[in-house]
Amino acid sequence: MEFKMSLFGLLVLIAGVLALLAVFLAWVTGFGMSFSGWEIFSDRIFEGYKYRLFPLIVLIVAILVILVGLLDLLGVKLFDEMITRILVIIFGVIILLLPLLIIIDADGGSMGIGMILEILMGLVLIIVPLLAMFKILPELK
């Protein structure tokens, strides 16, 4: 019996967990203050802010990414492999773009560690499925 672990599933799971944790780290810093993604969503300070729901959307997408990674590691196939990889790419684009829209809108603010981590995990979630599609990603043994 030979054990094979999907490197795709492992990397997607790790990226999903880090994207989930990054929601609770500082997204925008400046003027002696910092705000996490969760604070942007939940604080009354941001009442009426046009991007207020973006951290919640990133949180939900990160949970979906974790589920996709876990299901792939367990060998459960809900969809065809190609559909799963395209879905992960879409999730990666969401995790990459939504925080970027917030930082572009933040006048005088700079990126916090959570924002940087979200951007990096979004890139990972775009690159890993592409590598898996082109059979560049090896199998773990």
Amino acid 141: pLDDT: 53
Residue 3 has pLDDT above 60, yes or no: no
> In this structure, is residue 52 part of a structural domain?
yes
> In this structure, is residue 17 part of a structural domain?
yes
For residue 122, give its domain range: 7-133
Amino acid 45: pLDDT: 77
11 band by pLDDT with thresholds 50, 70 and 90? very high
> In this structure, is residue 2 part of a structural domain?
no
Question: Residue 30 and residue 45: Cα distance in Å, rounded?
Answer: 16
> In this structure, is residue 1 part of a structural domain?
no
Kindly report, residue by residue over 56-115, the tens digit of the pLDDT: 999 999 999 999 999 988 888 888 889 999 999 999 999 999 998 888 887 777 889 999
> In this structure, is residue 97 part of a structural domain?
yes
> In this structure, is residue 25 part of a structural domain?
yes
Task: Quote the number of domains for the chain.
Answer: 1
Question: Residue 71 and residue 35: Cα distance in Å, rounded?
Answer: 33
Question: Residue 112 and residue 90: Cα distance in Å, rounded?
Answer: 24
> In this structure, is residue 28 part of a structural domain?
yes
Kindly report, residue by residue over 119-136, the tens digit of the pLDDT: 999 999 999 999 999 888
49 in the Ramachandran plot: left (φ > 0), alpha (ψ -120 to 50) or beta? beta
